[in-house]
Structure 1
């Protein structure tokens, strides 16, 4: 059976990764001062950084069901007999609702998967699904392996401020940290699809050290079915610190990550909600073949 994989732009997949694995990406929208912009596939986030710096009015919106239906129809025309459609957490966006609506009208069966996560965790999962499909697994097996990996994954975020999350209504349990002293740097994580508080650290350098320690702890306690991990360090307007963290993780975890840590900017949509200076680490265990 030929299986296509569809995800959304918050998965942060580069053009190269999309082409290499044949993944179709449905874009979300960013509205800046009333002007709607479709999140592109060029990885350019300079425009959203500039908008955040000037404190523009920024909001985001999900793709329409019609946009998803076009992606499903194109996959079917390309020979797909089934589709895996994996997206950012339903608790953070209505994107998956649009996917489910479109799936009803799709010319081929669509398995819509709520990642209950964000960022490259979703991207890694989508890539893994394409590899499983290429190996000849049936669609139920691909979907089960995808969900198992996502359940064992993690996303942690060091944010400069909680204000953007508060404005966008995506703050979840992290609302308890509002009003904390300015010197406190909140370390958040995505838990059961929601952004939740994890720790409060006094300085940014200590918070980054905690991100590294927590990532190393993940790698030391992998599920028995895991064959190493995939790790990505993502950021928005924090290139120097994120690059240093990625290099440090690659040095400390060569046996787990194969010496390679993906380093990328957060998608414009995610950046609009977490704000400037955010650094995130996504970890997803690999499955044995």
Structure 2
């Protein structure tokens, strides 16, 4: 058998990608008007970010333990490497660490320190190592090596959602609302969402996003994922601009950000996740 990789639904991995690499996925929770919906399992309203009474929750210890148990069985006892949403953004990682204790050293939990496709990139790095026949230690090492190669940036059109969810300081939220700024945010090395630049218009913010991605990629081979919340046109424009700036990058996708993250960043948001290939 082979080491099995587990991730959570924040990773935005398509079903065919999950199937290709044998990645198991545990859903996160979206609570809408008191109804607990499972991401990628239940039908979540496309405009969930606009609902007045909506929150999100990480995967529970019970969810995670059951997923790890299945994954361990699939691995034939070779072990599990679990890659999850940044610990600074979700309770899922801490719950995962607790759930993994039941399985001893057979389940290794990795903090991606990222979100959306950034989580998926780390999970796929681990899955590729597993597919090549690497043992549990080596698959875990492949996942951990992929973490610092990742970068994530996002332009948020309003900071109200982030303010309500507590994902960014109240002072920054007030500033963005009061002055109609379109801030460029990024995930720092610890996977925390921080303010990168204060920008007054969406067009300039999108240009700054492209500049930031181009700077971290440089001439290196990389894979990019452009995400959006109900803003496909904006995402397509950013994708086209990145294609012009980085013609050597031939792996880029455009997709929605998913309901869990959209609740926190709000409508119109556009982000880019990057993984720079290992030398």
Common topology (TM > 0.5): yes
Which residues in structure 2 correspond to 1:87-98 (within 5 Å)? 87-98=84-95
Q: After TM superposition, give the deviation of residue 168 of structure 1 in Å.
A: 0.9
Tell me the TM-score normalised to structure 2 length: 0.92
CA distance, structure 2, for counterparts of residue 11 and residue 57 of structure 1: 24
Q: Which residue matches 1:246?
A: 239
Is the contact made by 2:235 and 2:270 (CA closer than 8 Å) also made in structure 1? yes
* CA 148–126 in structure 1, closer or farther in 2 if over 3 Å, else same: same
CA distance, structure 2, for counterparts of residue 76 and residue 107 of structure 1: 12
Is the contact made by 1:9 and 1:41 (CA closer than 8 Å) also made in structure 2? no
Q: After TM superposition, give the deviation of residue 76 of structure 1 in Å.
A: 2.1
Q: After TM superposition, give the deviation of residue 9 of structure 1 in Å.
A: 0.6
Q: Does 1:200 align with 2:226?
A: no
Structure 2 residue aligned with 1:214, among 212, 215, 220?
Answer: 212
Q: After TM superposition, give the deviation of residue 104 of structure 1 in Å.
A: 1.5
CA distance, structure 1, for counterparts of residue 60 and residue 41 of structure 2: 18
Q: Which moved more, 1:198-207 or 1:213-222?
A: 213-222
Runs of 4+ in 1 over 6 A off after TM superposition: none
Is the contact made by 1:164 and 1:275 (CA closer than 8 Å) also made in structure 2? yes
Structure 2, unaligned runs of 5 or more: none
Structure 1, unaligned runs of 5 or more: 223-227
CA distance, structure 1, for counterparts of residue 106 and residue 94 of structure 2: 16
CA distance, structure 1, for counterparts of residue 81 and residue 28 of structure 2: 18
Which residues in structure 2 correspond to 1:166-185 (within 5 Å)? 166-172=163-169, 175-176=171-172, 178-180=174-176, 181-185=178-182
Q: After TM superposition, give the deviation of residue 280 of structure 1 in Å.
A: 0.5
Is the contact made by 2:6 and 2:81 (CA closer than 8 Å) also made in structure 1? yes
Which residues in structure 2 correspond to 1:1-289 (within 5 Å)? 2-40=2-40, 47-49=45-47, 51-53=48-50, 55-78=51-74, 79-106=76-103, 109-172=106-169, 175-176=171-172, 178-180=174-176, 181-191=178-188, 192-220=190-218, 228-255=221-248, 257-258=249-250, 260-288=251-279
